[in-house]
Amino acid sequence: MSIRSRLAWAAGALALGAASALLLTAALSPPVAERRWAAPTLSGPLGYDELGRNIITTLASAALLSLGKATLITAVVLLIAFVLGHFLSRSPHRYLGAGLQLVVNAVESVPPVLWVIAIFAALREPRLALVGLAFGLVTLPAAIALAAGEIRRLRHEPFVETAYGLGLSEWLVTWRHLLPNAAAVLLPFGFQVIGAALAVDGAVGIVGLGSRIDLDLGAFLLRGQENFQQHPALLIATLAVYLAIYAALSAALSRFGRRRAQG
């Protein structure tokens, strides 16, 4: 990556961080009771919600937090998947891979949303951390199987075999060859996991397992559904945010695919 690209990424990260801080500050500021369902103003183009909070800043903050949670869950899942996949790719015991595939088939036979809701209901702990943990556990087997298969394939590539022949350690081969090349398969899977995590977040909110005062998109869907007759803007704006996020994920995935095709 060139210096110019690094500076652009750094500037973008700083701008995103500053915007996120401003949005969170506005969203977490004490609600004003007099503004409950107040009409749109110049500072609040979408009006105010039932708690007296500015809808547009609160919704933007909820979108950032939901996307941040989904990205964090995905990063943890991919990291664990790569480590365990690396171990399985070196294991001489084929029954480990067969057992993992059975687990993957069993987990994938049921939609992730239903797994999360079942775990959520069984433990009876209405906590957002539990949703992330349940979703991570559900997606982890497929991620491990994908990572193990790709790393096993890469081990038979000429450049990896040459690296081993030159006496490079397992750590160096993993860092220089296996990880960068496995990322070409794991990152697109990661985009899908982020999208699925956001969908699960919304589903948990719709069925009422979360809290109405939570600052996430699922809570906004629930509140928008409950208040749709009198205040449709809340639900419409939330759905628009979802569409914008999924469009951005789709564009990022398409761009990654084009760059990979170009070599």
Interatomic CA distance for residues 81 and 79, integer angstroms: 5
Span 11-37, average pLDDT = 56
At 200, is the pLDDT very low, low, confident or very high (cuts 50, 70, 90)?
Answer: confident
| Locus of tokens 């990572």 | 147
- Of 44-53, 145-154, 179-188, the range with the lowest mean pLDDT is 44-53
State residue 34's pLDDT score: 64
- Of 8-12, 72-76, 84-88, 140-144, the range with the lowest mean pLDDT is 8-12
The more confident residue out of 109 and 73 is 73
State residue 48's pLDDT score: 80
Span 64-85, average pLDDT = 90
Span 19-42, average pLDDT = 61
At 220, is the pLDDT very low, low, confident or very high (cuts 50, 70, 90)?
Answer: confident
- Return the half-sphere exposure (C-beta side, CA atoms, 13 A cut-off) of residue 237: 22
Answer yes or no: are the C-beta atoms of 182 and 147 closer than 8 Å. Answer: yes
Interatomic CA distance for residues 98 and 47, integer angstroms: 55
Any idea what DSSP says for residue 174? I
pTM (two decimals): 0.78
State residue 97's pLDDT score: 65
Q: Which domains does the chain have, with CATH numbers?
A: 53-261 (1.10.3720.10)
Interatomic CA distance for residues 219 and 204, integer angstroms: 8
| Locus of tokens 């749109």 | 40
Is the predicted pLDDT of residue 251 greater than 80, yes or no? yes
State residue 57's pLDDT score: 82
At 115, is the pLDDT very low, low, confident or very high (cuts 50, 70, 90)?
Answer: confident
Percent of the chain with pLDDT over 90: 15
Is the predicted pLDDT of residue 210 greater than 70, yes or no? no
- Output the average pLDDT for the chain: 79
- Name the H helices within the chain: 3-28, 55-90, 94-108, 112-123, 128-154, 158-165, 170-173, 179-206, 217-226, 233-261
State residue 14's pLDDT score: 54
At 126, is the pLDDT very low, low, confident or very high (cuts 50, 70, 90)?
Answer: low
